[in-house]
Amino acid sequence: MNPPLISVITPTLNSGPKIAATVASVLSQRKDLYEYLVIDGGSTDDTLPYLRAQGPALRYLSEPDEGIYDGMNKGIRLTSGEFLYFLGAGDRLLPGVLEAVAAEIRKLPGQGQTSRPTLLYGNVDWSIFSRPYDERFDRSKLRHRNICHQAIFYQRSVFDRLGFYNTKYRSLADWEFNIRCFNDRGIRKRYISLRIADYEGGGKSTTAPDPAFLRMQLEFLLSDPCAEQGRNLALVLDEAVWRLYEAGSYIPLRWKVTLLKQNCSAKTICLVVCSLCGLSFARFKQILAFGVALKRMIFRQRREHRLQSFPETAEDLAKSDLFTGWWYYSVELMPGLITRGHYPDSFPMLPRILLRNCDLHGTTCLDLGSMEGLMPVLMCRQGAKTVVATDAIDHCREKMAALRYYYEANFEFQQTGLMYELTNKLRKLGRPSFDVINLSGVLYHVFSPLMVLAGVRSLLKRNGLIIVSTNVVVDNAFTMQFNNAGRLQEETNTFWYLSVPTLEYLLRYLKLAPIDCLYISHREIKSSVRYLTDVESGYLSVVCRAKDDLLPSREDDWMRKSAQQSWEYTGLIDWDFCSRQAVTQVPYSSTIEKNLLKDDTGTIDLLRALPTRAIREAQTSSDAHVLRLADIS
């Protein structure tokens, strides 16, 4: 009798009512494709009576073992299938999936009897993710997270080549085994775009720390740090070191010396130094907490010192350099005393108008390119808990401090340098995630608009809101027009105008769903800034909701393939960090006409929306680039 194609193995111990759904999902598959073995670790509940009741439909072995991976190793020895699959108690195979996997196996060279051992893997449905977990893996991605064994079919020759699960790793031996697989070029790794199982989660490998594995993972990172992408290495090392110390595990001296040579954060370097001095992890955290509190106290004292330097009377303010100097926004610093800004009162500020539709109470907000801080002040006044203002340079630091003083607005400022790699920059400053982000007036001032969008994307919480505002060209083409010879705008720091379809596509490509927009044609703008009108152009502000999935149109296969296979897409955006972000529930009150929505993506067709979402001028000063003391939005 020929051995079956697939051996399904379920390790279990006192699984009670969960085992029934697991067994039923296996027995519903096509019978000629598999054998089924349950390895029980000596259950004392209803598990064994249930297994006996299944008769010849499955085999089971019940005896004490040394843990889940000892049971899985027993399953490997006691089965004969060409491919091995491990399904946990409580997990469920999806209907008909073994037949679909068998078809993929037949596509392999030699009808499954391949010359190279093969690891075939797909995705699982996991309740904490709104999309299948977790698509294509490579060696770098496996450093951060594991492939669920419920998604993997191992050819038996993989175990012949590498050995079995290492039971030294009590809760993460499957991750360690997968690392061995991906480190061995003699093993073929084949991804198939199939949902294999409904993964319950919460098992030992997802809930229990494993110091032995953490040490192995750190050694793996230190053995070949150059293999990790430079922008991720510091973050991965930081996480590995902290988890290992938190678990109370020993780190050898030679590893500590190697760590000090790597690009770790200052906090982790201090931790390693403290450990070299004999301080415990608990003691280090106390020192760290004291340092953070001291830093905040010094910041407050410096801020209070700066506040005392601002004019206290209208007469002094009117004569001051602060008031008479150059201002981007028109700002009322004292009743009746308004600085002279860059734009006329009739020029509407589109992101400001859209921000009113966001319920900011209790949120964390980020404003990029803040100038004097008009938007951060409004975010504070609309109820945001935390507001971070940023700019490439600190040319408006004094004016921003003046707004904090006169408007009693509690927001912080971070100088970021050039607007690239913003996720890494803000994470190092302890600001890794935001409910609402305003990215307005930036994209046309940078060499690479897509790089800036990619650098911001990971900072946005799942389901969060981002307002993206930029100059655009109105045509049907997917283009970016360069401001050669100042033909679009005379301002010397302006480079690119994206076409409207290009902007919309890039947003959907980055899992940002456009849900509202406003537009003003450059022909309508009366300003000292000269906008040339040889092409139809304008300023477009778009509100987007962060999504967990891509938003391709119905006929667009390229977007999904690019997201899976492009080095740029997976390397420049930390999608792992995105998926770990908390889910926020920021309400957005405005609704868009249904006829402006795309029927396949449910997002706004921006080009179609322009005529109905266009604004010609500000109705009141609170719609413009003017901030008054009485304004709350």
Tell me the pLDDT tens digit for each residue of 86-126: 999 999 999 999 999 999 999 987 654 446 899 999 999 98
**Position 499 in a domain:** yes
Q: What SS3 string covers 270-331?
A: HHHHHHHCCCCHHHHHHHHHHHHHHHHHHHHHHHHHHHCCCCCCHHHHHHCHHHHCCCCCEE
**Position 332 in a domain:** no
CATH of the domain at 356: 3.40.50
**Position 97 in a domain:** yes
Among 282, 309, 335, where does a domain finish? 282
Q: Are residues 253 and 203 in the same domain?
A: no
> For 485-489, 526-530, 547-551, which range has the lowest pLDDT when averaged over its residues?
526-530
**Position 202 in a domain:** yes
C-alpha 95, offset from chain centre: 31
Q: Are residues 18 and 152 in the same domain?
A: yes
> For 194-198, 228-232, 277-281, 449-453, which range has the lowest pLDDT when averaged over its residues?
228-232
Number of H helices, E strands in the chain: 25, 20
Taken as a whole, the chain contains a residue count of 633
Q: What is the pLDDT of residue 577?
A: 85
Rg of the chain's alpha carbons, rounded to an integer?
A: 29
Torsion of CA 552, 95, 152, 3, to 10 degrees: -140
CB 586 within 8 A of CB 464: yes
Domain extent for 160 = 6-207
Cis link prior to 134 (omega < 30° from 0)? Answer: yes
Give CA–CA dist 339/325, Å, rounded.
8
135-139, 223-227, 543-547 — which one is most confidently predicted on average?
Answer: 543-547
**Position 198 in a domain:** yes
C-alpha 601, offset from chain centre: 21
The angle formed by the CA atoms of residues 327, 329 and 334, to the nearest 5 degrees, is 85
Average pLDDT over residues 76-89: 96
Contacts of 381 (CB under 8 A, 6+ apart): 407, 409, 631, 632, 633
39-48, 295-304, 485-494 — which one is most confidently predicted on average?
Answer: 39-48
**Position 564 in a domain:** yes
Give CA–CA dist 307/404, Å, rounded.
9
DSSP code per residue over 378-438: HHHHTT-SEEEEEESS-TTHHHHHHHHHHTT---EEEE-SSSSSHHHHHHHTT---EEEEE
Mean pLDDT, the chain, integer: 86
Among 259, 282, 305, where does a domain finish? 282
How many independent structural domains does the chain possess? 3
pLDDT confidence tier of residue 301, bands split at 50, 70 and 90: low
Q: 198 has which bridge partners? A: 92, 125
Among 179, 207, 235, where does a domain finish? 207
**DSSP 8-state code for residue 133:** B
Q: Are residues 203 and 219 in the same domain?
A: no
Q: Are residues 197 and 270 in the same domain?
A: no
In this predicted structure, the answer to whether residue 139 has a pLDDT above a threshold of 70 is yes
Q: Are residues 151 and 237 in the same domain?
A: no
Average pLDDT over residues 431-455: 92
**Position 154 in a domain:** yes
**Position 431 in a domain:** yes
Q: Are residues 440 and 467 in the same domain?
A: yes
Q: H or E element: which one contains 575?
A: helix 575-580
223-259 as b/e: b if 16+ CB within 10 A = eebeebeeebbbbbbbbbbbbbbeeebebeeebeebb
pLDDT confidence tier of residue 307, bands split at 50, 70 and 90: very low
pLDDT per residue as tens digits for the range 578-594: 888 899 999 999 888 88
205-209, 368-372, 484-488, 566-570 — which one is most confidently predicted on average?
Answer: 368-372
- Coil, strand or helix: which one is 245? helix
Q: Are residues 77 and 202 in the same domain?
A: yes
